[in-house]
Amino acid sequence: MLIRNICCIGAGYVGGPTMAVIALKCPHIQVNVVDTNKERINQWNDDDFDNLPIYEPGLGEIVKKCRGKNLHFSINVEEMIEKADMIFISVNTPTKTKGVGAGKVCDLKWVEKSARQVANFSKGHTIVVEKSTLPVRTAEVIQLILNSCQNQSKLEFNNKSFDVLSNPEFLAEGTAINDLLKPDRVLIGGDNPEAIESLRIIYKRWVPESKILETNIWSSELAKLTSNAFLAQRISSINTIAALCESTGADVREVSRAIGRDSRIGSKFLDSGPGFGGSCFKKDILNLVYLAEYFGLPEVATFWNSVVSINNWHQHRISKLIIQKLFGSLSGKKIGILGFAFKANTNDTRESAAIQICKDLLEEGAILLIHDPKVEKKKIDQDLSYENKYTNSWNIVDCVEEALENVHAAVILTEWQDYSNINWHEISLKMIKPAWIFDARSIVDKQKVLDAGINIWRIGDGST
Ligand code: NAD
Ligand code: UGA
């Protein structure tokens, strides 16, 4: 089946960039990205390409090229479903907050709603593609919902039919466009070779065929969760070693370099930091934990759960260390926070280590001056306003200098390039002595900070 019209349900961090790249590479396909969030759609349609809802290097140029030609953003969910030959479900799948499996299993209500919308409004044969990250066997749920409508539509002499494929997304935020243009692999899970071929033809326009992997649908769903779990596990592993380095005089950067030279281990994802954040690592591991428990494998569940608990421990460890270095009390002390996004080159703060660390510092009575070059002020306010506590205890500032004026310490939590070029001699004159830099991202030049008369703690540095 040759695809001419695609609808993507969900104009978020995945739906937006993924569809922009498909539109760029497949000018013969009309790509409609739909969302129920009107504000988000308006931002996607903004005349100023700096106002797109997602900050992602290279995204603006692609949207500029394709929008209004073969890439469209709208809230017309039903109409675009009706027109589509292929529908990507790219909606949010957060961890359930109440009911059975709360705190672990992901909430499928948005996926279910999307499947029902597809069932009701599609016409003819439609290929439904799972783009969201889903627990194993979700395709079964989607198929069941679609089947019930297929039976109904036979009664109404309005024949509809469906194929369901799994095509998980592996892009990372901040490098999404590059990841989409040059993926390590594209995974397609399904059982109908014709449907798989329809999707393969789309990717083949820019991805070498050797990188397009086919699996059964359950392997595809599980491979996505496993991939994130393995990546997160590396970060938790290196963060435990950072703590050991600090106690033993070793340096985690040197340890990472040494182990990364082993080609079996590899050098990527070995940077110790303030703990992994982002919308997916924690949720996907907890999902895996739930699946293991559900299938009667408690040891497997405990193993993966420890990756998340080490991450929590690590974040609190950093907060405790800051308190200890500042003489055990933060009451009324000003602290500059450099970086709030969960990593550089994104405006996303979901599960950012900065949220937990800032909350810990506020809990101790600190006054925070927070700077981030891309995160909106209102987002930081939302993330820190919990139970209406400490509302007047932080200020969001526009530049690094303002964040470090009259502070006892600076805490670097996101590896924004700007933070590596700070003139510490100038800053030192404005800081309260003894002043501290807590560099959780290994981004500043340690000697320059020391030369400026400021104390420094670096993650995993046993010599500081
Ligand atoms: P997101 O929250 O940024 O976007 C999801 C969008 O779906 C929202 O704008 C929401 O309004 C919309 N939506 C929900 N239900 C809808 C419905 N019935 N009709 C129309 N719109 C609807 O989420 P995201 O970060 O893009 O993640 C989407 C999925 O992709 C998740 O399963 C996630 O685990 C997975 N994923 C995310 C990333 C990432 O880097 N963010 C990477 C790979 C995979
Ligand atoms: C991650 C995966 O890398 C993607 O492949 C996946 O598609 C995506 O999750 C998803 O499913 O959502 P992302 O969360 O955008 O992507 O960002 P990463 O680059 O993986 O970073 C995650 C967290 O780990 C960040 O807080 C980052 O600072 C931290 N990290 C990463 C480290 O602390 N050290 C490292 O060496 C690497």
Strands 436-439 and 71-74: unpaired
**CA–CA distances in Å: residue 54 to residues 33, 57, 111, 280:** 14, 10, 22, 16
Ligand 1 probe mutation, 34, 280, 345, 347, most atoms within 8 A of CB: 280
Residue range 290-310, pLDDT digits in tens? 999 999 999 999 999 999 999
Residue range 16-43, pLDDT digits in tens? 999 999 999 999 999 999 999 999 999 9
Q: How far is the CA of 12 from the centre of ligand 1 (A)?
A: 5
Residue range 247-283, pLDDT digits in tens? 999 999 999 999 999 999 999 999 999 999 999 999 9
Q: Would you place residue 1 in the very low, low, confident or very high pLDDT band (cuts 50, 70, 90)? A: confident
pLDDT value at 350 more than 70: yes
Give, as one character, the DSSP assignment of residue 58: T
* 3-state SS, residue 192: coil
Give the strands of the sheet with 186-189, arranged side by side.
71-74, 30-34, 5-9, 86-89, 124-130, 160-166, 186-189, 212-215
pLDDT value at 419 more than 70: yes
| Burial class of residue 323 (count of CB atoms within 10 Å of its CB; 0-12, 13-18, 19+) | middle
Per-residue pLDDT at 387? 66
| Burial class of residue 48 (count of CB atoms within 10 Å of its CB; 0-12, 13-18, 19+) | exposed
Kindly report the pTM of this predicted structure: 0.95
Whose CA is closest to atom 14 on ligand 2? 278
Measured distance CA(10)–CA(31) in Å, rounded? 13
Ligand 2 probe mutation, 93, 134, 255, 342, most atoms within 8 A of CB: 342
Give the strands of the sheet with 409-412, arranged side by side.
394-396, 367-371, 334-338, 409-412, 436-439, 455-458
Measured distance CA(380)–CA(224) in Å, rounded? 30
Q: Which of 200, 201, 228, 203 is nearest to 214 (CA)?
A: 200
Q: How far is the CA of 194 from the centre of ligand 1 (A)?
A: 27
Q: How far is the CA of 92 from the centre of ligand 1 (A)?
A: 3
Residue range 74-95, pLDDT digits in tens? 999 999 999 999 999 999 999 9
Whose CA is closest to atom 42 on ligand 1? 171
- Spot the catalytic one: 7, 66, 149, 280: 280
Whose CA is closest to atom 3 on ligand 1? 12
131 alpha carbon, closest ligand: 1
User: Is 280 one of the catalytic residues?
Assistant: yes
Q: Calculate the average pLDDT of the chain.
A: 95
Q: Could you tell me how far CA 38 lies from the centroid of its own chain?
A: 22
Measured distance CA(190)–CA(202) in Å, rounded? 16
Residue range 129-173, pLDDT digits in tens? 999 999 888 999 999 999 887 666 666 656 899 999 999 999 999
Q: Would you place residue 432 in the very low, low, confident or very high pLDDT band (cuts 50, 70, 90)? A: very high
Q: Which of 107, 168, 176 is nearest to 132 (CA)?
A: 168
Q: How far is the CA of 387 from the centre of ligand 2 (A)?
A: 29
Q: How far is the CA of 235 from the centre of ligand 1 (A)?
A: 24
Q: Which of 169, 173, 114 is nearest to 146 (CA)?
A: 114
Whose CA is closest to atom 14 on ligand 1? 91
Measured distance CA(148)–CA(226) in Å, rounded? 31
* Residue 173 in contact with ligand 2 by CB distance below 6 A: yes
Residue range 353-399, pLDDT digits in tens? 999 999 999 999 999 999 999 999 999 999 999 766 777 799 999 99
